[in-house]
Chain A
Amino acid sequence: MAIICVASLIYLILTWMIKDRYYQLMFSIVPIWALVGVAWNIFSGYSGLLSFGHAAFFGLGAYTVALLMVFFNISPWFGLVASGFVGALSGVLIGWPTFRLRGHYFALAMLAFPLALLYIFDWLGFQEVTLPMKREEPLLYMQFEDQRLYIVVAMAMLISALLINLALAKSRFGMALLAIKQNEAAAMASGINPLPWKFAAIAISGAFTALAGGLYGVVLLIVTPAAVFGMLSSAQALIVTLFGGIGTIAGPVIGALVLIPLGEILHAELGDKLPGIQGVVFGAAIITVVLAAPEGIWPWLLSKFKKASTDELPPLGLNTDSFVRNSVPAPTTGKVLMRVSDVTVRFGGLYALKDVNFDVMEGEILGIIGPNGAGKTTLFNMLNGFVTPVSGQKILIDQDITQFKTYDICRAGIGRTFQIVRPFKQMSVLDNVVIATFFAQSNTDKAYVMAQDAIELVGLGSRLNTVVAGLTTVELRLMELARALAPAPRLLLLDEILAGLGSSETEHVLKVIELIRQTGVTIAIIEHTMHAMVRLADRMIVLDHGQVCAQGLPQEVTNNPLVIEAYLGKRWSARAQH
């Protein structure tokens, strides 16, 4: 925050000394585009939904201020406030149909809005809206004789946007958006409903972009559809941020500081001899950044100066000092925690699960085994809410959660780990886990304590602040386990958590699972590692071709001829007898 104030002051002092009117104008445009970049970043940089249509907000803001002044004689001081609201509202309106889409479809849809507005405003007759000169009361209508005052206004808007950005970045809002960006499925499984966050982000982003557009209109005194709704406007928001550093606070400012003057100077000096040079340079800048420094210039610079941490991490706490030595398993209470009745899941013509019936008893460890393709992960996806059954029910205690969305299922008390780990890669272990506690704990400090406890429980205490991208397989699995565990679920779904682990790592994880069970959490676990399963599971279910072909105690199930036939094989069973 101090940096923002000092840097802004320096900028203001430096630009105050400029005498040439054209350059004064240019240096008031720089913070305007920086503002658009910051606003764009708040939405796209954090959520990962690239918006190619921010020109829509920019243009709407510009036209709001211009038209209010032309038709209603309303001063831009009020007009700007109005444009902020227009921006926020249009953000929500645009977001409402488009948020259902992901990836490419979203980018395309966002592209369409400003282009459509361009044609509409053209048709409406607003090809050139000039702001009337108000010589009698210039200050009231934001028409400064001294161009440098525009710089002050622009900087004021930019600073407020930066401060808000700063506040958001550290908050749940920012972290939720980052989680959604880095792994939306995992975020949903951790109890985050992406939609409200996305709406909030686009409303804030739209409001600030519209403000920038409004000021742009005031500074240039003229608004045309092509200038504000055109591709270059949308692209400029993107380029400035991508060049400077997406997802960072300083990035868009740096990008604007470098690219805008460059573009303007090129345009001014070479514009008549080489028309379009501005676009070429911007295009080249963006290509260079994508190829050489995909994160942006600012992060690239930072990585050159920060030395990579080469500290050797201590080995995982395989010393079991913190583990309870009680080896007698807690008795199961005999109550049904979850009942799955007649569930069928279809993908087109393929029945992934057919008339599946089973109960999960409170306090037990239920093992789910079966050959590959039997439908085990689909079963979990169904339990977790990623897939909806076409028929049947799942009831948690006495709540029918069949139609619940993933985040609601998480909030109802079901946690899950994934067959292929889904971490929030750029975040630390602690941040990954704490995200899952947000829905359960509104006090952020307590949330961090909950997260830390879960991390200690699984044995990752020494890795609290390590960025997840640097973890080993077993550490990743444990991190995901801690994340699923942190909000104190009633049921944990573990999907092949032991796959590919060495024997000492497997021992560690098994101990952790036992420990978790002793805290009262029910566990359903899919596994292929049979020797571990028979030790761990109280009861087992065998899935084959989407149907339950055996249920019961491990001894019964492993001796069941059907199961041996379908999955275990005679040699395993022969060896298992000993």
Chain B
Amino acid sequence: MILIENILQSLYTGVIVGCIYGLMCVGLALIFSVMRVINFAQGESLMLGMYAAFFCFAHLGMQALFGSYVGPFISALLAGIFVFVFGIVVYEALLKHVTGMRVANTEGEGHYPQLTLTLGLSLIIANGGLLLFGSAPLTMRTPLSSSAWELGPLFGTDMMLFLNQGRTIASIVAIAVAVGVSLFISRSRMGTMMRAAADNPQAATYVGIHVGKSHRLAFALGSAITAVAGGLIATYYPFQPYIGIEFVIIMYTGVLLGGMGSVYGAFLGGVTIGLVQQLSTLVLPHQLQNAAIFVAFLLILLFRPQGLFGKSVDRV
């Protein structure tokens, strides 16, 4: 009985947390599918999102305006806007020079400047964060974080499930944002242009699409989406400037699982990773939670690198 209760609880938490991870992965997947660049700085977008959300909440008055229940979630969304602008600035100042049309069609070697640039970015942002924000962990907890809806007794037994309110609402917000993003990508003009630029940059140029601008939009939007996820995570998890590295592998595993070319797959991949993480606590000690994710990561790379929905596979 207790075992089943634990399993059900882990399943629920796994899906809830997974939705937030899914949103995080969508941001990365967007950047990868359009720009074909592994963005090492994605973890830092997450971190910036957390700090921006906190800033909005505590210092920009969101807490005052919307109270402690809704405030954090509004702040998370606002954080997205901040990081979007940041993404545009970073692209124009730095990334533009190593990405866009000139790199879109090169084999292998053309992508290394992008990789290393984002690595440098990651170092600057993470350490810059340490410099600016200090190393003391922060959270944006709400009263909802420590309250839970009780579900049960279930199935005529005395099993009870506790649905954490804060996280549940966070996951609903995450799903909403993900749906919004997917609508934008599939229905709007800019979204269609982005998809064209992702699919075939040369052809896109021939029909008048500015590939560089699409890349810029993808980068800014992808960073913003991950930032929103960060803001949501900040409502239940303490953060500090180096938190990016903790979540980077989760993001990459999720995107890989979903398939490197697929934005929708990335969301599902994130949910799956959330499940893996939570379910692994049933059998593994807590510290090895992330090790379980690495194992999943390696297994996927070895046996199904195209993931569940992926299109292209760069295999030898």
Show the binding face of A for B, using Cβ within 8 Å.
48, 50, 52, 97-105, 107-109, 111-112, 115-116, 119-120, 122-123, 181-182, 184, 194, 231-232, 235, 238-239, 242, 274-280, 282-287, 290-291, 294
Contacts and interface: CB of A to CB of B under 8 A. Distances in A.
A263 to B, nearest CB: 11
Given A282-B120, A284-B124, 5 more contacts: A105-B314, A115-B249, A242-B116, A274-B131, A276-B131
Interface stretch (B149-157, B180-188, B210-218, B293-301): B293-301
Interface SS of chain B: helix
A98 B314 CA distance: 12
Contacts of B122: 283
Contacts of B38: 104, 107-108
Contacts of B134: 275
Nearest to B108: A103
Contacts of B290: 119
Contact of B108 (A48, A232, A275): A48
Contacts of B36: 104
B316 A102 contact: yes
5 contacts: A101-B315, A103-B108, A105-B256, A105-B315, A279-B124
A287 B38 CA distance: 16
A290 B127 contact: no
Nearest to B112: A50
Contacts of A181: 109
Contact of B294 (A105, A116, A182): A116
Given A275-B130, A280-B131, A287 B316 contact: no
A285 B124 CA distance: 10
Contact of B287 (A97, A115, A122): A122
A232 B40 CA distance: 13
Contact of A101 (B119, B285, B294, B301): B301
A287 B287 contact: no
A102 B315 contact: yes
Given A235-B123, A276-B131, A280-B128, A100 B113 contact: no
A116 B291 contact: yes
Given A103-B111, A283-B121, A290 B116 contact: yes
Contact of A50 (B115, B130, B245): B115
A120 B124 CA distance: 27
Contacts of A104: 32, 36, 38, 111, 260, 314
Given A279-B126, A280-B131, A98 B301 contact: yes
Interface residues of B, number: 51
B102 interface: no
Contacts of A277: 127, 131
A105 B134 CA distance: 34
Given A276-B241, A280-B128, A99 B301 contact: no
Given A103-B108, A104-B260, A108-B38, A280 B127 contact: yes
B173 to A, nearest CB: 29
Nearest to B109: A48
Interface of B: 32, 36, 38, 94, 97-98, 108-109, 111-113, 115-117, 119-131, 134-135, 241, 245, 248-249, 252, 256, 260, 285, 287-288, 290-291, 294-295, 297-298, 301-302, 305, 314-316
**8 smallest A-B Cβ distances: which pairs?**
A279-B127, A283-B123, A276-B130, A276-B127, A283-B124, A286-B120, A116-B294, A287-B120
A287 B125 CA distance: 12
Nearest to B114: A290
A255 to B, nearest CB: 13
A52 B97 CA distance: 22
A102 B288 contact: no
Contact of B120 (A52, A109, A283): A283
A287 B124 contact: yes
Contacts of A182: 109
Given A115-B245, A286-B119, A276 B301 contact: no
A123 B111 CA distance: 36
Contacts of A111: 248-249, 252
Nearest to A96: B302
Given A184-B316, A242-B116, A97 B131 contact: no
B117 A287 contact: yes
A181 to B, nearest CB: 8
A100 B316 CA distance: 6
B212 to A, nearest CB: 16
A291 B314 CA distance: 26
A238 B123 contact: no
B205 to A, nearest CB: 19
Contacts of A194: 316
B120 A284 contact: yes
Contact of B301 (A108, A232, A239, A275): A108
Contacts of A274: 131
Contacts of A235: 119, 123
Contacts of B119: 52, 235, 238, 283, 286
A219 B5 CA distance: 52
A265 B98 CA distance: 31
Contacts of B305: 101, 105
B170 to A, nearest CB: 25
- Which of B36, B285, B301 is the most central at the interface, judged by chain A CB atoms within 10 Å of its CB? B301
